[in-house]
Every structure is written in C-alpha cells, then in structure tokens.
C-alpha cells in the first residue's frame, strides 16, 4: 500500500487491519487508539514497526521502557549514560508528571488581591 498508494493509504490500511484483528477476537478498541498507532507507524512518511525494534530508535529511555522490555531498555540507558528530557508523554507519565498537552499545556494565573 505504501509503495503503490502512498502514506495515507498505508495509514488507513494499518488502522483497518488492526480494527479487524481486534474485532475478530471480540475486543472493542476505541478508534482513536488505533488511529494513534497508525499515525505513529507512518509518522516519517514511511513505515515503522510498532514493536520493540520500532521503539529502539526513540531517544527517550522512559518512552522506550513504557512499551515492552523495561529492564533491557533501562539497562541500556544506565550503561550508555542515557538521559531523558521528559518531553514525550510516555516519559512524563512514567515519572508522574502532567503532560504538556490538552489541559496540561498551560497554567491559569489569577491576580492575588
């Protein structure tokens, strides 16, 4: 699909196929989650696997650890001196920080009288 029809067709196909897999097992998944997966897999205009290999190139150790093999990613980060700037939502959730999206994107300030 990617080669013949482009990235948008590939994204739509990923979402449709994922939906079919879950429906086949009687699992109801919010379409927004599947759309997020499709977006992530095609984010660079190509195809990236949604598995530990696809996450290996991410720079955030906490984002890597939130996916699957926590100990392996943690060990690699410690041994290689990895640092995390906590900009990814996964990393921020891992350490209990509010994400900088939606209602966490701003602060409400009021004058004190």
* Complete domains list, the chain, with CATH: 1-48 (no CATH), 51-102 (1.10.150.390)
Q: What does the pLDDT look like over 60-106, one tens digit per residue?
A: 788 777 776 788 888 888 898 888 888 877 788 778 888 777 777 77
d(CA 15, CA 37): 8
Coil, helix or strand at residue 55: helix
CA-to-CA distance for 18 and 1, rounded, in angstroms?
15
Q: How confident is residue 58, by pLDDT bands cut at 50, 70 and 90?
A: low
pLDDT at 15: 95
What is the model's pLDDT at position 18? Answer: 94
Instruction: Report the Cα 40 to chain-centroid distance in Å.
Output: 6
């Amino acid at each position: 699909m990617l080669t013949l029809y482009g990235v948008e067709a590939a994204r739509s196909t990923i979402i449709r196929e994922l939906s079919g897999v879950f429906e086949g097992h009687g699992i109801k998944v919010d379409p927004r989650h599947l759309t997020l997966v499709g977006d992530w897999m095609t984010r660079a205009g190509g195809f990236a696997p949604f598995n530990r290999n696809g996450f290996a190139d991410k720079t955030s150790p906490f984002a890597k650890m939130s996916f699957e093999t926590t100990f392996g990613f943690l060990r690699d980060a410690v041994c290689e001196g990895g640092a995390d700037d906590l900009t990814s939502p996964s990393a921020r959730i891992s350490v209990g920080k509010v994400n900088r999206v939606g209602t966490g994107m701003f602060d409400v300030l009021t004058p004190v009288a």
